[in-house]
Amino acid sequence: MRGRLTLFWILLAAAVGFGLFHVKYKVQALEDDLRTLNAAITDEQEQLHVLAAEWAHLNRPGRLEALAQRHLDLQPTGVRQIGTIETISFPAPPETLARQSEKAAR
Amino acid sequence: MTPKPITTAHLDGTAKQAMEAGRNRLLVAGALFAVTFTAIAFRLADVTVVKPAGEPAIAAVTGSPAFTAGRADIVDRNGVVLATSLNTASLYANPHHVLDPREAADRLHQVLPELRPAELMGKLASERSFVWIKRHLTPRQHYAINRLGIPGLYFQREERRVYPQGPLFSHLLGFAGTDGIGLTGVEKKFNGSLGAGSKPLVLSVDTRLQHILHEELTAATARFRAEGACGLVMDTTTGEVLAMVSLPDFDPNAPERSPDESRFNRATLGVYEMGSTFKIFTTAMALDSGTVGMTGGFDASRPLKVARFSITDFHGKNRWLSVPEIFMYSSNIGTAKMAMAMGTRGQRDYLGRLGLLRPAGIEVPEVGAPLVPSPWREINTITISYGHGLAVSPVQVAQAVGSVVNGGILRQATLLKPLKGERPKGKQVLKAHTSQSMRRLLRLVVTGGTGRQGDAEGYLVGGKTGTAEKTGGRGYREKALVSSFVGAFPINAPRYVLLAVVDEPHGNKQTMGYATGGWVAAPVVSRFISRAGPLLGIAPVDEESDEVRRALEIKIPTAARGKRGRTLASF
């Protein structure tokens, strides 16, 4: 009886020890992963930062204007090109059109 | 015999007492131990089972990544990057580790063609153990050099301040030195917070408007072969500066490449005698103090002689002029008489209230103090009334004009975007009614007076021209002018004030030799407003509509006081 109990305790201690080291190594591995990921994230953030600066540089209004003049037929909006919504004559809403065509079909 | 048992009993008594005491002590000690152990047991159970302390159930994320590039960014009101810090790689070599300097130099030259092979050779073959090859590589160059795989070449990470917009915001932003310390402009003013924080500094400026203003001023400077120019756009409801340009400018990415004169911020540091633009303030203060009404006027038939000075009109009408006419034709005589009626004290009080006698509070270190006459004599009162004898910075003028048109509330010009829902509190310096009258007068200048070229169809511009002779050596130089135009729009409910100042313009054929504010600066304002109106979300209005007419109509008494005048619809 006594021997069995001792054996039980020894086994239990061994199992707990094994479990402890297993968890410890796993945590270490995970921490390594985390560090790598964090480094990757910082790298990405830095690249985003550089790209944001490049984006701002390439979107200088002066550059865009020159490009638009060279490649597009667009001009600054004139006063006469700005109107109110009331001045536009809209076509009839689509459902009435559908109803009309239904009537015509009948 | 009898005493013995007594003695025994006595002895028995002592022994018993000792026993009793011993037992009691044991009991007390036992009880103490029992209590202590029970307490320890409970505590043990408590910390291990009930609420495990020390180790949280879920580990906190340690060292969460936060990228910081040193100095904080500066962005415009819409979040466009104006200044940022980049980590760059700089290339250096240890010549002792370089195996074949000739081959290394040849291959490096292919990636960095701007470096001459002979020079590179010399560096790579030198006896030193550290030589800079090139500072601040682009990421592409960095990659290419890494690919070459030349031994003995190393990279050093360095921080560099970059201004993606180039020269567009030069004076406003200023620049930071190689050690990351702001040397001028906003970079210097906010050096502490930029160096400490990672949160971007949000300015009130708008990159698009800045570009338009920059372009129009550059064009005007070239057209009139001017020495320089400056301009600014301010929101009169908040005091925010939306654009601020000073020419000539420089590239803050490489400030050492521009001459020193280009660093001078004309918009904040330069002080100018503004000329007739000042008549806005003289007229406003005369109306506000009740010195004269809108139907009043002064005799401008003869030049005004004060001491040894004779004051004449540029666009002389040689008759009695009403207040609207004095303003519209920019009459020096009429304005001077208006100021004389005001008196020196009244004038100085009002100018002080309008913030024209103390330096502007704008957030750059380069702020010019106004040149105030001392002593302030009657002749000063007269010359100041039409803008000579008191030199102020363009920011001060924009601020003061803002208060004249926005209902009389002076708001300090600021470069910072206010937090959401926050509105800077202003100071009521003029009556709201005065502001109403001034709007009509400013519109009149553009529809029928000297500022006709400042109009932008549909946007209801109101404004005033100014042409001042620059002081040089002794007295004024007739050929050196400072031409300006200050405009507000839409003038029926002014939101934006726009000031353009051109320094020493020269007239040309198209302007028939004129280089006055109406010919030089007013077109800048007109073009800016037509281009920027849609960006600012201002719907163009029908200038002939009844509503507009009612808001801006003005009665001009023509002949003499009291006589019925003609009504001039001013739109």
**Residue-level pLDDT at B384:** 92
Domain of B261, in residue numbers: 211-568
B10 inside domain: no
Chain B interface disruption, residue of A82, A84, A86, A87, most B CBs within 10 A: A82
Residues B183 and B235 in one domain: no
Q: Which residues, other chains included, contact B14 with Cβ-Cβ below 8 Å and sequence gap of 6+?
A: none
B503 inside domain: yes
B276 is an active site residue: yes
Domain boundary among B146, B179, B202: B202
Residues B176 and B217 in one domain: no
Residues B480 and B361 in one domain: yes
Residues B169 and B237 in one domain: no
Residues B183 and B328 in one domain: no
Closest partner residue to A52 (CB to CB) among B63, B64, B81 is B81
CA distance A68 to chain B (A): 15
- For every residue of B183-242, DSSP letters joined together read -SHHHHHTHHHHHH--SPEEBS--HHHHHHHHHHHHHHHHHTT-SEEEEEEEETTT-BEE
**pLDDT for residue B571 is more than 70:** no
Residues B180 and B222 in one domain: no
Q: What distance separates the 2 farthest-apart alpha carbons in chain B?
A: 158
Residue B233 and residue B240: Cα distance in Å, rounded?
9
**Residue-level pLDDT at B265:** 92
Question: Number of A:B CB contacts under 8 A?
Answer: 71
Residues B183 and B218 in one domain: no
Q: Hey, are the CB atoms on A56 and B165 less than 8 Å from each other?
A: yes
B458-497 pLDDT per residue, tens: 888 999 999 888 876 566 666 788 999 999 989 888 999 9
Contacts B539 to A, Cβ<8 Å: 82, 84
Domain boundary among B181, B202, B223: B202
Best CA proximity match to B385, nearest among B280, B296, B297: B280
B135 inside domain: yes
Identity of the residue numbered B433: H
Chain A residues 18-37 with a CB less than 8 Å from chain B: 34-35
Closest residue in B to A59 (Cα–Cα)? B165
**pLDDT for residue B151 is more than 50:** yes
Burial degree of B505 (CB within 10 A; 0-12, 13-18, 19+)? buried
**Residue-level pLDDT at B567:** 44
Strand partners, B500: B231, B485
Residues B221 and B194 in one domain: no
**Residue-level pLDDT at B563:** 41
Q: What CATH number did the domain enclosing B258 receive?
A: 3.40.710.10
The answer to whether the CB of B335 falls within 8 A of the CB of B385 is: yes
Residues B196 and B301 in one domain: no
Closest residue in A to B543 (Cα–Cα)? A79
Count of structural domains within chain B? 2
B39 inside domain: no
Low-confidence ranges of chain A (pLDDT < 50): none
Residues B224 and B176 in one domain: no
Q: What CATH number did the domain enclosing B134 receive?
A: 3.90.1310.10
- A96 close to B (CB below 8 A): no
- For every residue of B100-141, DSSP letters joined together read -HHHHHHHHHHH-TTS-HHHHHHHHTSS-S-EEEEEEE-HHH
**pLDDT for residue B420 is more than 90:** no
**Residue-level pLDDT at A87:** 78
The answer to whether the CB of B411 falls within 8 A of the CB of B239 is: yes
Out of B276, B289, B385, B437, which one is annotated catalytic? B276
